[in-house]
Structure 1
């Protein structure tokens, strides 16, 4: 992996926007609009610890960055800020040059990981996946359906994806709740992010040992059947699959349910048909995408982008949600619905989320929403919509809680 030449690391550009604060949670559309008005489609930002970066919020500029892997590479070894990054930097789990995984390699080495991971995901039976999703969704709903009220994020949206992924990846249901806590702590980038990252890797190490002892019809066993990888590489790829599969899927469920419970356009479907579930899910990918900002790309040489002078080794953050609001592709405040899939929610280009992973996420999310609406057809918000709060992360956009009420009903498990 390429290492940057020793040099004085660049400092933040004048007027750089801190990549923190409540506006990323309360009104990101207006914040991105103000960023574009002041700086254009490429915005100078500051990460924790006064670390400078560029946030790409222009649709065409983001398409260019994600499409040109030579100029804007995934080789984070080029980063000119490494001398300023402490070992306990909270965002280090998201940007780590020492991780030889599918998300942190380039060129032939990246393709080697793709050739192991993608076939292991492609072999997941979609009918078995949906059966797992329905079974787990029913079990989770059984736990609260008789109470007439529930909190759907902690008790449902955050548990369903990790439990379904566990079934297909190979770890037991009992690992789910603690893995959920650790993965979310890792992603939120707080003080416990490093410890959470260590816990997730330890869990994947246990999974690796278990599958070596007793292989099964699961993703982990299929990956192990592909030789030539170290234990560290297997563990890191399993960590990447699990975290990248769980986090956006759980927020996709939560954000879609929030939309359907707060927007009159979707109210009719809550008492009957499923025709608008897909529409809500697609609108969320445009207007309220679970992954708002993705790290990242690194400039391989000095260049210009969106009117900004980008130096070799600068980090570029992919402003997925900011690009979706680019007035050059749609009017400000105009919802993008229907079958338009030209969004960046799964990224774009060579490092786009693999299609099998996208399909797995969609099956889990759609099944979770449909089963919930089938089981609890008169579900409604228990608190005013304006009191709902978001997770404390500029990178991910999900609900911290979604309290609902409904007519109590019997658990399906008791009738079996």
Structure 2
């Protein structure tokens, strides 16, 4: 009697909040390095769990293309599908551009981000972090996610891109709705798009020393629509994963004995915790997507032309074929997939901006609130209901109330 083939796994549900690492282990056990999954609406796809297989997919953009027009499921996708902002029909952004044109767009984005002075960036992050902590430090308790981590990256990015600080809260809400892929996702996408076009119009009329003005001055024949779409990608990819990087790193430092001893004084331990998170608790769990340009084999699976292939970054990071030491400190090892791989990986200047914001945010917080401690049992912490990004819903802490810096200046 033959054993029935395990059923495809629904890419959603509470286990992505509670214990995704165990879920990925089960999927690898039942399906191997490439697992069949279904998305909302019973839409089929493949999730790449294996480190080597993920390297193969991201190293072959001709076979595993970013061209979503190849998708063989478009006839089954309703116009109001909540995942359209994440896995949408091809838009004029860098995400869906292939070949030489993609290289030109990536170069434009990298040059614009390289125009940001790293010392000014760190100064902005320190200033905004201090302002946020000034609003919290006298209370003795707060939620570090809603009142700190979710605000800091966007406010810094808004500053270097050219947005007004007052636009931050609306942008945070819009991007969260869009990325979570639930109700409100399409409205969030519209809000973000409208904000970008308004910013472009303002900077065309009055350029400044900011990333957006730099892109407009050096857009190499790209239309305003293309520049707006790339800015939406940059803002979404730069804000939420960085906020989750801060939150996940602080959770690790507040709950793991390996970091607790140096919590108040060890800046070196901040870097170790941040690197550990990129391996074991990466903010970007899964990424959509790639579409096969022809029939192929991957991880022993037959992948038909036009199939959707999802990148399982978190699962690949913990692949036992390459990670025999899971649970040990990762040190300076940065061979993780947390920023992607290949020509569509996160540009290096964007990675550097995210690291400066996250590390500065953590260091300033620990300097200002040195006795910060978790206010609830570690097991009571919960995650957002998203299979794409992994972040805490809240991180309640207590600390000794201190005066605001603004009050002592």
Normalising by structure 2, we get a TM-score of 0.97
> Gapped runs of 5+ residues in structure 1?
1-12
In 2, Cα distance between equivalents of 1:14 and 1:315: 19
The answer to whether the 8 Å contact 2:67/2:90 transfers is no
Please name the residue that 1:110 is paired with.
Answer: 102
What is the CA distance between 1:14 and its match in structure 2?
Answer: 6.2
Please name the residue that 1:58 is paired with.
Answer: 50
Map 1:15-414 → 2, pairs under 5 A: 15-227=7-219, 228-331=221-324, 333-414=326-407
In 2, Cα distance between equivalents of 1:360 and 1:61: 29
In 2, Cα distance between equivalents of 1:28 and 1:208: 39
> Number of residues paired by the alignment?
404
What is the CA distance between 1:264 and its match in structure 2?
Answer: 0.8
The answer to whether the 8 Å contact 1:270/1:373 transfers is yes
What is the CA distance between 1:332 and its match in structure 2?
Answer: 7.3
The DSSP-based 3-state class of the residue aligned with 2:95 is coil
In 2, Cα distance between equivalents of 1:329 and 1:128: 39
In 2, Cα distance between equivalents of 1:98 and 1:115: 21
The DSSP-based 3-state class of the residue aligned with 1:127 is helix
What is the CA distance between 1:363 and its match in structure 2?
Answer: 0.1
> Gapped runs of 5+ residues in structure 2?
none
In 2, Cα distance between equivalents of 1:192 and 1:137: 29
The answer to whether the 8 Å contact 1:287/1:336 transfers is no
In 1, Cα distance between equivalents of 2:297 and 2:263: 49
The DSSP-based 3-state class of the residue aligned with 2:266 is coil
Q: CA offsets, 1:173-211, max 9 Å, x none?
A: 111111011101110001100000000001111111110
Please report the RMSD computed on the Cα atoms of aligned residues, expressed in angstroms.
Answer: 1.1
The answer to whether the 8 Å contact 2:159/2:165 transfers is yes
In 1, Cα distance between equivalents of 2:327 and 2:301: 28
The DSSP-based 3-state class of the residue aligned with 2:330 is coil
Poorly superposed stretches of 4+, deviation over 3 Å: none
The DSSP-based 3-state class of the residue aligned with 1:399 is coil
Normalising by structure 1, we get a TM-score of 0.95
In 2, Cα distance between equivalents of 1:331 and 1:14: 26
The DSSP-based 3-state class of the residue aligned with 1:271 is coil
The answer to whether the 8 Å contact 1:153/1:400 transfers is yes
In 2, Cα distance between equivalents of 1:284 and 1:218: 30
